[in-house]
Amino acid sequence: MVSGRPQMTAFRRRLRYQQAMWREAKGHPIGSQPIVPKADKPSRPLGSRLPLDYARTTGADFLTGAAHAAVEARPAREESHQRLDAQRLWADLLSSTPMCCNLFGELAADLALADRAVHAWWPGSPGKVVDVRFEHSPGRLDPAYLGNLSAFDVAFVLDQGDDTVGIVGIATGYHERATSETAKPSRLARYQEVASASGVFVADVTAAVNSTPLSQVWLDHLLVLSMLQHDDGAWGATGVADRYSDADTTCPGWSFARASC
């Protein structure tokens, strides 16, 4: 249920049903809530999940070998302060993280294909794709960026041939819904600083998006803008694409920011 949003409630129910029917059609066993039941606490079957041990052994949550390989490779690229929910990654058929790996795993396995895809989707993207990173942030909790835990679900890194790199950061959503987030006062000043220095927002953008369902989308854009503003000068161009599947929420699509220097 989503209070006051019957259309969103119906949408989420439909996704749960569809994933449960997919699981049954594939002959996969039913999972549970919680994902790992405890003997001394109640649990219940949940059709949109897989048993964790089964999911880890079979990789059933992933549609291709490349998607499965991308997930298995991700732990070797551990990032500071990352919060990767391994249980949901492997066993939750509604999580956006495995969905993201299913969508982009083939590109991670073939950088030439990734480069063609990025330039087909966003013709203005500079450089050549040299890396695909899942659940990526340039610096979680680093005040030189945003000082928060914002990250891209997948990021395409582009070599621009001039000692700088570009990045196309993508945020995806599936069963999740856009919620109203209020920035902590201790971080709000940094957000305002990045927004003002970028020159791409109207003056009252903070009041317009803070504490609204657009707040996370705004932070995604601020993250790439903070990369352009970073003192190391490593990022020559950045962009972010947000795609959320909320039935009753419209989010911005693509924005691309190029360094002015």
Under the banding of pLDDT at 50, 70 and 90, the label for residue 260 is very low
* Residue partners of 210: CB distance under 8 A and separation at least 6: 181, 182, 183, 188, 218
Q: Is residue 188 part of a domain?
A: yes
* Mean pLDDT on 161-169: 89
Q: Is residue 64 part of a domain?
A: yes
Question: Does residue 32 carry a pLDDT above 80?
Answer: yes
More confident residue, 259 or 89: 89
* Residue partners of 215: CB distance under 8 A and separation at least 6: 180, 181, 182, 183, 209
* Residue partners of 235: CB distance under 8 A and separation at least 6: 138, 164, 165, 166, 167, 227, 228, 259
Terminal CA-CA length for the chain? 49
Q: Is residue 92 part of a domain?
A: yes
pLDDT, residue 150, reads: 93
Strand partners, 168: 156, 239
User: Which pair of tokens denotes residue 188?
Assistant: 């709000």
Q: Is residue 248 part of a domain?
A: yes
Domain of 40 in residue numbering reads as 6-258
Q: How far apart are CA 91 and CA 102, in angstroms?
A: 14
Q: How far apart are CA 99 and CA 93, in angstroms?
A: 8
- Whole-model pTM? 0.86
Structural domains in the chain (count): 1
Under the banding of pLDDT at 50, 70 and 90, the label for residue 128 is very high
Q: Which of 19-28, 29-38, 141-150, 236-245 has the lowest mean pLDDT?
A: 236-245
* Residue partners of 40: CB distance under 8 A and separation at least 6: none
Q: Is residue 1 part of a domain?
A: no
* Mean pLDDT on 53-74: 96
Q: How far apart are CA 128 and CA 166, in angstroms?
A: 9
Tens of pLDDT, residues 215-230: 988 999 999 999 999 9
Q: Is residue 126 part of a domain?
A: yes
* Mean pLDDT on 189-211: 91
